[in-house]
Structure 1
Amino acid sequence: MLAAAGSLPRDDDRWGYEVKFDGIRALGYVEQNLRLYSRNGNEITPAWPEFAGIAPGTPPFVLDGEIVAITADGRTSFEALQPRMHQRNAAMIRSLAGSVPATYLIFDLLHIGDRSLVGLSYEQRRAILEQLGLEGRCWRVPPRLRGRGADVLAESKRLGLEGVVCKRLDSPYLAGRRSPWWTKVKNVNEQEVVIVGWKPGNGRRSGRIGSLLMAVSDTAGQLTYVGNVGTGFSAAALEELQASLARIRTEKPTVAADVRDVVWVAPELVGEVSFTEWTGDGRLRHPSWRGLRPDKSPREVVREPTAGGR
């Protein structure tokens, strides 16, 4: 089940609140062993060996949660998680598990034994989940946030958190659907984008990526150019992007854009940027790269509301 971007609900008594974590979504199938799947259905179990101790499940059960990297100040960092998201080399995974520890934050329970729970209300599912006692070195059930939505959001902003997710207490789990019964409200402006090309850089980046061309789908489902991003990249990220984009290079322009000296690519890779605001002509102002989103499909990428509004 996916959250729709929006504003705080007005009827607080009908809603529960959770921290919006800055990581990657993962379903956990807990039987004799644990199997993890990303939101686009890819098995990602080998990348996260530290979660194996959640199993066995007696009886088996299915979890929903977010894999995050927690920084020293207690916040979740999507950037810190990047080195681990794409790694499949076993030796490197073991090394990164020590240097970039991850935590599985579990917020829903979908199935237990031979019983599906998706038709139960969010409040009922959370109550059963909390009875399982899922507390380990690197996995846990984060607390629900109490109080008025406005107060919860204000406190999340004071603590430097990304935002909150508002969940209707009586909502069933709508698998594979984005529903306003789960609403995400952010404190910062972030936008998923489809990479449609790149411009060569200058100086140390001469002949390599200087900036990426970004696009999102409009209301008709057509990709629309929304500007370039040229900051926020680590050297490792640029190297990885260079290799990935070389494989999907195309001669035909991917979107309509008045930009010269572009190396066009097929619209297959999704990334995420932070930015200050949308300009009047539909461009992202001062975007900064946050990382690739291999768990997202290009067809899902649409313009999202800015922080605190629709």
Structure 2
Amino acid sequence: MDRADMFDLAHLTGARKAPMPGRLPPMLATLTEKPFNDPDWYFEPKLDGYRLIASVNSGQVRLQSRNFHDYTVQFPAVAAEMATQPVDMALFDGEIVALDEQGRPCFQCLQHHIKKNPGNSGGVMLKYYVFDLLYLNGYDLTEVPQSSRVKCLDKTIKTGSTVKAVRRFEGDGQEIFSASVKSGFEGIIAKNKHATYRPGKRSADWLKIKAVLTDEFVIIGYTPGQGTRDGSFGALVLAQYDLNGHLVYSGNVGTGFDEALLNDLMIQLEELTTKKAPSNLQLPLPSAITWVKPELVAEIKFAERTQGGLLRAPVFLRLREDKEAPEVKTPVVEAKL
């Protein structure tokens, strides 16, 4: 008997009979500023990897990114282990993470694996951490409360050397946040136990709380380099989309680059050069900008946002090749007290 047969989906609140969707955009978390304590919420460590929806259908597996790119070939060990799950049909939500030699999450290791070693681990330790169950054996579970979905997940998922279940905690969110940061995680994700799953939506029922402020920005141009950067760029010009779909200037970032990264970025920027600035661009901008098509997404660390929405003390961290420019929106920050 499959583990999935151990409970009655037909009488599970919110579950409905439906065909399994071919693809499902993941639910997204809203940024909030401080950890909090609340018995109605779960707390999970915030993972630093690629979000992947795993579909299992009669032993056939597909690993799909939030933008519906197929990553099954890139992670054959994950696909093989997911194929052994005790289900007929299911959709799992999770994150693929690469670990370094010390067992710590390493996003750069993951990107290097995807670029250089597709289909081969190349010495990188890969783990697929599963944290939600969205569909199971003929039933859509997205309208099932979070607390019931994770119970179904716990009864269903079979963990192994590559597939793992995310640990969730209850109670003292502040203590869990501190412990997660000390263990090398970026922060925590808080999830309302009573919330349903909202595909493709950024919801206040899921909150991300980070130890260091970071966010994604669209690269819309660059300023000319001088001195040791002559022939390259001096700073990247950053923006985010507002609720009306217009790009809003967020500031410039000129630190966080080594020589290899400068050269790699410059090659990509030159391929995207355009004579036109983005339409409806908000706020005054510095002069001498070479505009580029708004396609590259950068993750930036910063001290704070000014009242005008500009970044203070920004530092470039990395390109986010798993995210597309239209996803990069000015955040609605909600403080959960």
Compute the displacement of 1:99 (Å).
3.5
Compute the displacement of 1:191 (Å).
1.4
Deviates more, 1:18-27 or 1:276-285: 276-285
Aligned counterparts of 1:48 and 1:161: Cα–Cα separation in 2: 23
Among 227, 236, 251, which residue is 1:212 paired with? 236
Among 23, 39, 45, which residue is 2:49 paired with? 23
Compute the displacement of 1:262 (Å).
2.1
Identical pairs, percent: 35
Is there any run of 5+ residues in structure 1 with no aligned partner, and where?
none
CA contact (8 A) 2:37 2:174 kept: no
Structure-2 change in CA distance of 1:30 and 1:306 (3 Å) = same
CA contact (8 A) 1:191 1:303 kept: no
Structure-2 change in CA distance of 1:164 and 1:237 (3 Å) = same
Deviates more, 1:147-156 or 1:237-246: 237-246
Compute the displacement of 1:279 (Å).
3.6
Partner of 1:93: 118
* Aligned residue runs from structure 1 range 126-205, under 5 A: 126-205=150-229
Q: Deviations over 1:61-117 (max 9, x none)?
A: 1110111122344432333323235x2x7xx3245x223332211101111221221
Among 246, 265, 290, which residue is 1:222 paired with? 246
**Matched positions, count:** 305
Partner of 1:55: 83
Partner of 1:83: 112
Compute the displacement of 1:39 (Å).
0.6
CA contact (8 A) 2:220 2:294 kept: yes
Does residue 1:66 correspond to 2:90, yes or no?
no
CA contact (8 A) 2:39 2:170 kept: no
Structure-2 change in CA distance of 1:308 and 1:207 (3 Å) = farther
Structure-2 change in CA distance of 1:136 and 1:126 (3 Å) = same
The one-letter code sitting in structure 2 at the alignment partner of 1:34 is V
Compute the displacement of 1:239 (Å).
4.1
CA contact (8 A) 1:153 1:163 kept: yes
CA contact (8 A) 1:186 1:307 kept: no
Compute the displacement of 1:266 (Å).
1.5
The one-letter code sitting in structure 1 at the alignment partner of 2:65 is S
Q: Deviations over 1:112-133 (max 9, x none)?
A: 2212211211111111211234
Aligned counterparts of 1:56 and 1:195: Cα–Cα separation in 2: 42
CA contact (8 A) 2:100 2:124 kept: no
Deviates more, 1:72-81 or 1:26-35: 72-81
Please provide the CA RMSD for this pair: 2.7
Aligned counterparts of 1:245 and 1:193: Cα–Cα separation in 2: 15
Aligned counterparts of 2:259 and 2:181: Cα–Cα separation in 1: 30
Aligned counterparts of 1:270 and 1:147: Cα–Cα separation in 2: 36
Structure-2 change in CA distance of 1:34 and 1:235 (3 Å) = farther
Among 27, 40, 53, which residue is 2:67 paired with? 40
- Rg (Cα) greater in structure: 2
